Amino acid sequence: TTSRGRRRHCCSSAEAETQTSYTSVKVLLIFAKEDSQSDGFWWACDRAGYRCNIARTPESALECFLDKHHEIIVIDHRQTQNFDAEAVCRSIRATNPSEHTVILAVVSRVSDDHEEASVLPLLHAGFNRRFMENSSIIACYNELIQIEHGEVRSQFKLRACNSVFTALDHCHEAIEITSDDHVIQYVNPAFERMMGYHKGELLGKELADLPKSDKNRADLLDTINTCIKKGKEWQGVYYARRKSGDSIQQHVKITPVIGQGGKIRHFVSLKKLCCTTDNNKQIHKIHRDSGDNSQTEPHSFRYKNRRKESIDVKSISSRGSDAPSLQNRRYPSMARIHSMTIEAPITKVINIINAAQENSPVTVAEALDRVLEILRTTELYSPQLGTKDEDPHTSDLVGGLMTDGLRRLSGNEYVFTKNVHQSHSHLAMPITINDVPPCISQLLDNEESWDFNIFELEAVTHKRPLVYLGLKVFSRFGVCEFLNCSETTLRAWFQVIEANYHSSNAYHNSTHAADVLHATAFFLGKERVKGSLDQLDEVAALIAATVHDVDHPGRTNSFLCNAGSELAVLYNDTAVLESHHTALAFQLTVKDTKCNIFKNIDRNHYRTLRQAIIDMVLATEMTKHFEHVNKFVNSINKPMAAEIEGSDCECNPAGKNFPENQILIKRMMIKCADVANPCRPLDLCIEWAGRISEEYFAQTDEEKRQGLPVVMPVFDRNTCSIPKSQISFIDYFITDMFDAWDAFAHLPALMQHLADNYKHWKTLDDLKCKSLRLPSDS
């Protein structure tokens, strides 16, 4: 035999499809003598980058094939005096390696006056295809390329599947694969051992036909099916019944497998026994039944070796030469995560328990793990609210923003009422985003940048920036397609929502809403945030940002509670404004079909979306600020930091795609978007500082006029130092929160702005300047 060819430099998509290393296609030409046809295939292989061998006899052909295992074999079937092509094909097909080989018969061209022969004899001999004699290199090349992109790639997938099933058969975790209608199609040996069944008893059966444990909640199966039928992964604890009748507690992860056309084709379930006392008895029984006399527990049940789902930070540390510099650059943020200046008592408790777990016996470590789970699901994350150095600015911010009006006066009730607006803006609103005026369109071209100037948009839209920015952002994220609503409906919704923001407010107006929407969209574009949330989460976040302060009266919750306002009475002095914002937003949306963006989605999607929006808007209420931040740090940041720093700490890191962690990420995202002003470029930061100060000044003025308690005395327009108030706000609320958010989302530009702005306020304060700028800069 002779060989020729070179490995192709391009990588076929077969590699991505099978997740196996792709090698160049190998072709064997079996021709008794060299002619124009053999040359045509030879040069076609060279052109395609295939590795090619030529054999002249059946014996040398078989020997070469058994040595090289070619993917394509071309046999000359045009003559019979030198060898029988069909006999050669049958001899090759008799070997094991030929299972994945495509064999092509080259046949003589038939004249027009002769009937073409049937291909059945060729198929019976083992050929896959027939090629009508044609020595053109391009004709041979096209034939080989079609075979590669068809049969050969399919064979690559089959070979990869064999490797995958071999891995599954030797996997310690129990694995079950079912069809889209829950018929069992595969179980591995670990599943057989765990459940006590032989695979022959399970394959082809519906899951519904298998015995169920009575220890599960009645609605658990419905909950699981609802989740996975939407294409979402479900993970949790489930009780299963073994063939023996015993119930065992399993940690189960069910992943839908999406096929062509976006249809769910299979469900893959990974099952591990939870380490409980009852389960430990079952484990030993399983080992005894399966003949395992080992004195130690298998890998999948050992606590110390059990790998838990964690935040995916390997994408950072595996980016070639950039990894060390990136890791070094992010280490200071990680260090700050471990030493936050505002640490709740529960955080200290968790750190102590984590340290105790390090050298504890398995049973103790498991018990402490359970303790951590309990602690992380209760309301124990708010720190003791002491002030820093008895700073009156900090004290007033805490009292004004983190309490719901604890001081009361009899009488002097402030009744806040407002007619809900359904009217549209006086501006001529565009029919679509493509019809906006050029001056606005030009500004919106830069809306994906963090340094986007919202105040310029406010000016050119006559204080109605929300509609224009909203249409652009929602279009970018495909919100209309997700909600199945028209852009006309979306535009009408934006108009109604914006009309219910008070343009008379210095700060809490539709410009602030647009700014928060812009920040939310920016955060959603960050790699790790995008990888943690699905489209429903993105849509919910954008809607929540849009409506999060709708109908804000320009007064704090404490003011409304002290004044005995109608809203405070309605919501029992608890999260008064945030509850009002969400309730009104949904009232405005569903009361008029012309602006009802939810009218075309099904009930389940609507309920999920509504709950996510409500949860995010309520998260902007400041009384639970430290609870949200500390939960984020303990459940997201610290597991991620431990992996980046190579720590052996097992602080129960849950996957970022777990529903409970997605909730924490969404809360943290909208909280940061809501108060991102100190992280904006200096000019924007200064403008926002002036606006919020003016709104607080106006509240203090009204409190004095009404004879109400003054909840933030430092915000007296005659005496207030704006730089001091900004420094206190950044120190107490912003720094730790954005350190945590930056550690997750990676926001170096924002952190640089924060440092520059803090330096600006510090410089003014050192110079005893109480205004936004030095007089010489005004």
Residues serving a catalytic function are: 508
Q: What is the DSSP letter of 426?
A: S
510 is annotated as contributing to ligand binding: yes
* H or E element that contains 258: strand 247-258
**DSSP H helical segments within 240-321, as ranges?**
277-289, 314-317
The closest of 583, 613, 585 to 496, measured between CA atoms, is: 585
Q: The tokens 């958010």 sit on which residue?
A: 741
Question: Does the annotation place 182 within a ligand binding site?
Answer: no
Q: Which residues contact 637 (CB under 8 A, 6 or more apart)?
A: 334, 337, 740, 743, 744
What are the structure tokens assigned to 635, written together? 């459940």
Distance (Å, rounded) from C-alpha 655 to C-alpha 647? 17
Alpha-carbon gap, residue 370 to 305, rounded angstroms: 17
2-5 and 26-30 strand pairing? unpaired
User: What Rg do the C-alpha atoms of the chain give, in angstroms?
Assistant: 34
Q: How many CA atoms lie within 13 A of 58 on its CB side?
A: 15
The DSSP string of 536-597 is HHHHHHHHHHHHTTTT--SS-HHHHHHHT-HHHHHTTTSSHHHHHHHHHHHHHHHS-GGG-T
The separation between CA 243 and the C-alpha centre of its own chain, rounded to angstroms, equals: 38
Determine whether the annotation assigns residue 549 to a binding site.
Answer: yes
Cα gap 656→662, rounded to integer Å: 6
What are the b/e assignments for 288-326, b being 16+ CB within 10 Å? eeeeeeeeebeebbebeeeeebbbebeebeeeeeeeeee
Strand ranges, E, within 101-173: 102-107, 129-132
166 is in an annotated binding site: no
Do the Cβ atoms of 137 and 43 come closer than 8 Å? Answer: yes
- 655, HSE (Cβ side, Cα atoms, 13 Å): 14
- Short-list 764, 754, 703, 701, CA closest to 729: 754
Q: How far is 736 from 98, CA to CA, in rounded Å? A: 63
Q: Are 245 and 547 in contact (CB under 8 A)?
A: no
Question: Which string of DSSP letters, residue by residue, matches 328-363?
Answer: HHHHHHHHHHHT-SS--HHHHHHHHHHHHHTT--HH
Torsion angle in degrees (nearest 10) through CA of 620, 622, 626, 628: -20
Q: For residue 676, give the nearest of 743, 727, 751 by alpha carbon.
A: 751
Cα–Cα distance measured from residue 617 to residue 497, given in angstroms and rounded to the nearest whole number: 15
462 is in an annotated binding site: no
d(CA 73, CA 86): 13
511 marked ligand binding residue: yes
The answer to whether 294 is a known ligand-binding residue is no
Annotated binding-site residues for AMP read 508-512, 549, 674, 726
For the annotated binding site for Zn(2+), the residues are 512, 548-549, 674
